[in-house]
Structure 1
Amino acid sequence: MKFLKYLLVFIPISIAAEFMKMDPIWIFIFSSLAIIPLAGLMGEATEEISIYSGPRIGGFLNATFGNATELIISFFALKEGLFDVVKASIAGSVIGNILLVLGASMFFGGLKYKVQKFNKSIVEVSASMLLFAVIGLSIPAIFTHTVNKELLTGKYEWLSIGVALAMFIIYLLGLYFSFYTHKDLYGSEHSDESEPKWSILKSIIILLVCTIVIALESEYLVSSVEPMTESLGLSKFFVGIIIIPIIGNAAEHSTAVLMALKNKMDVAVEIAVGSSLQIILFVAPVLVFVSLLFKPMSIIFNEFEMVALIVSVLIVNRVASDGESNWLEGIQLIAVYVIIAISFLI
């Protein structure tokens, strides 16, 4: 995590590049590199605040701010009307977390330890929630792709709002389940015995400053997406489903791998699968609600995004069902992610 802080130098560089009206490709690269350490600092500040607030409030803060970077980037993308990029980034975040992050954690952890174990009960709960979430996205997508479009005129918004509301309610009930009625199931994952490194005031200030600067960098990033994709010949889907999720979650991804190297696969799995749940059940509905302030965004994904999501969830359910992992399972997950990434690139 320490090396990420050296990337903070790209904050002034990206600001200078924007004022100098440099090539959009460079603005995109500089703002991306600036967001990565800011997202890491935001996560660190949230962890520090959670130590002071206790495990229950801390869990809620982690759930709320865990994907704040992607929420901010997506907000500016919504403002620009880049709905395809926003929906692709939602799908890409889920796919990236449960294939690339979990796969990398299993692979690197497996190179050091022959077999790594994790809490099977937690994975089963998370996997069932993830399966529900994908079904929640699949049904309206299949419905709209099969029904006569003329019959659906003006009804996309209401369908999306209804689905988003149902998923958001399930997300809140999931929090209640894990932090109240069944907190014993999670055991040590929700207890915090570590000592704070920062004061509560310092943590709050860092969180606020990072949020403001990420908002600024996100505006630069989003404004450069269209000219950058046109210049390089990339599709917006590839930028949304691969590049933006990696930028927004780089710090979280590295933490999961580090936990696996310390033989803490419980934590690595919770980071990967838990973050995916937050994206589908919390971030996606919030973005649908926020889009009502501009132009309503439907929650209908295209066919390939849905197939990629369904395949990813099914594979993870299969790989994680035995409560054990090894390096070969990690490679398998990474291979599926690479195949999906190449498909979107083409």
Structure 2
Amino acid sequence: MKNKWFYPLLILSTVFSVVAHFLLANESVKFIASCLSLLLWAALLGKSTESVAHYAGERLGGLLNATFGNAAELIIAIFLIKAGLFDMVKASITGSVIGNLLLVLGLSLLVGGMKFKMQHFNPILAGHNASLMMLSVIALFIPAVFISDLTPSDINTLSLIMAGLLIIGYLLWLYFSLFTHKKELSEEYFLASQTDQSAAVPIKQEEDKEEPSWSRNISLLLLIVSTAFVAVQSEWLVHSVESVAKALGWSEIFVGAFLIAIIGNAAEHSAAIFLAVKNRIGAAVEIAIGSSLQIALFVAPALVFISLLFGSQMNLVFTPHEIAAIAVSALIASSISRDGSTNWYEGVLLLIVYVILGAAFFVL
């Protein structure tokens, strides 16, 4: 981080959060303190993963960025499961998916498009991402359709089967994209295949030469430290979120789908937008869409198995409102990204849909 104010603010927010958690009784103050500290640590997490991604390469770097960017959501979800707040877990999963597809991707396309008239990325990868988004919608839709004809035990069994299949499907996708078809899905292969070398290409190549802020070892150290602090702040956030939601009159689904999701997505917000501004839109799209796919196809199914460790299984039955929100988000994100080119107006369209869904969940 080159901003001189960032580290002092990070230290002050962390101290404030520690004092609020151990010495104050007001849950609202605890919640605000945890949110501020979590946002800053998530920003450092995003920057450190971006630096690690530089050393790991574009595709693997995007995966690492999405994975560690999702660390906040996963940690928050585990503590919510421990507290028995399954509905809020599902809402936060919904919020993470639509937040990445609409808010993170929308802001990236908008900010990047304001600097570069057209930005291009690998359309082959975009097509596969669109198919995987449809798979995530199908996986959430099927249990909701059959729930009326199944017993609670059958629902839990079906959830375990589907969770296992989704995890296998996601792991095979990683093998497909990082090994057997790594070349075809890479940004370099896409650029080399273009016969019309637009002005964006040399700009991109020039930006790619920019050195990261830290060395590889420092980047890894900051990655580990920021992940640990994100975990601590996430646990404190969960302890106060329920009472704050009741005090404000907000529903659990709105708090989980938007408030917690926005806070948890801070790492993706910063990293994807920074990359889009540098005309590395392929990496930005990989973070935004790849993060949503990881949440839907790996994190959510993994939470089903993790819930067994706490003695009460979470199922994969989402509400019709949550399924509709994910389906709408996947549909427009797939439509916009499938051709492998973007502009600022497409970012505006994604953000409009996000605000529409936010308004609907708020009044629900």
Deviation at 1:169, TM superposition (A): 0.5
For the residue of structure 1 that corresponds to 2:316, the secondary structure is coil
Of stretches 257-266 and 53-62 in structure 1, the one that deviates more from structure 2 is 53-62
Q: Give 1:31-180 correspondences, 5 Å limit.
A: 31-49=34-52, 61-62=64-65, 64-144=67-147, 147-148=148-149, 151-180=150-179
Q: Structure 2 vs 1, CA of residues 332 and 201 (structure 1 numbering), >3 Å: closer, same or farther?
A: closer
Residue equivalent to 2:274? 258
1:331 and 2:331 aligned: no
Q: Distance in 1 between matches of 2:362 and 2:9?
A: 27
Identity %: 49
* 8 A contact 1:189–1:267 mirrored in 2: no
For these two proteins, the number of residue pairs brought into alignment is: 342
**Backbone CA RMSD of aligned residues:** 2.5
Match of 2:27 among 24, 32, 48: 24
Is residue 226 of structure 1 aligned with residue 235 of structure 2? no
Q: Which amino acid aligns with 2:172?
A: L
Q: Which residue of 2 aligns with 1:215?
A: 231
Structure 1's unaligned 5+ residue stretches are: none
Which residue identity is paired with 2:252? Answer: K
1:261 and 1:47 mapped to 2: Cα distance? 14
Q: Offset at 1:127?
A: 1.0
Residues of 1 paired with 2:288 and 2:314: CA distance? Answer: 27
CA distance in 2, matches of 1:265, 1:57: 15
Q: 1 CA distance for matches of 2:62 and 2:126? A: 17
Hey, what's the Cα distance between the residues in 2 that align with 1:321 and 1:55?
A: 19
- What CA distance in whole angstroms lies between the structure 1 residues aligned with 2:134 and 2:60? 26
Q: TM-score, normalised by structure 1?
A: 0.90
Helix, strand or coil at the partner of 1:296: coil
Contact 2:123 2:340 in 1 (8 A): yes
Q: Deviations along 1:250-283, whole A, 9 cap, x unmatched?
A: 1321222232223222122111111111111121
Residues 197, 259 of structure 1: CA spacing in aligned structure 2 closer, same or farther, 3 A cutoff?
Answer: closer
Which residue pairs with 1:320 in the alignment?
A: 337
Unpaired segments ≥5 residues, structure 2: 190-207
Q: After superposing the two structures, state which structure 1 stretch, 285-294 or 325-334, moved more.
A: 325-334
Structure 1 residue aligned with 2:203: none
State the distance in 1 between where 2:177 and 2:165 align.
19
Change over 3 Å in CA distance of 1:20–1:93 after alignment to 2: same
* SS of residue in 1 equivalent to 2:112: helix
Q: Could you tell which deviates more after superposition, 102-111 or 47-56?
A: 47-56
Deviations 1:154-201 (A, max 9, x none): 2222111111111100110010011110001222479x9775654555
**How far apart in 1 are the matches of 2:214 and 2:43?**
15
1:207, distance to aligned residue in structure 2 (A): 3.1
Indicate if the aligned counterparts of 2:58 and 2:283 stay in contact, CA closer than 8 A: no
Q: TM-score, normalised by structure 2?
A: 0.86
Residues 6 and 140 of structure 1, relative CA distance in 2, 3 Å threshold: farther
2:289 counterpart (253, 258, 273): 273
Take 1:200 and 1:115, find their aligned partners in 2: how far apart are those partners? 32
Q: Deviations over 1:42-99 (max 9, x none)?
A: 3444455556667787666445433111111111111111111111111111101111
Relative to structure 1, the CA distance from residue 206 to residue 324 in structure 2 (aligned partners, 3 Å threshold; closer, same or farther) is: closer
* Distance in 2 separating the partners of 1:34 and 1:312: 29
Greater alpha carbon shift after TM alignment, 304-313 vs 316-325? 316-325
Q: Is the partner of 2:250 in helix, strand or coil?
A: coil
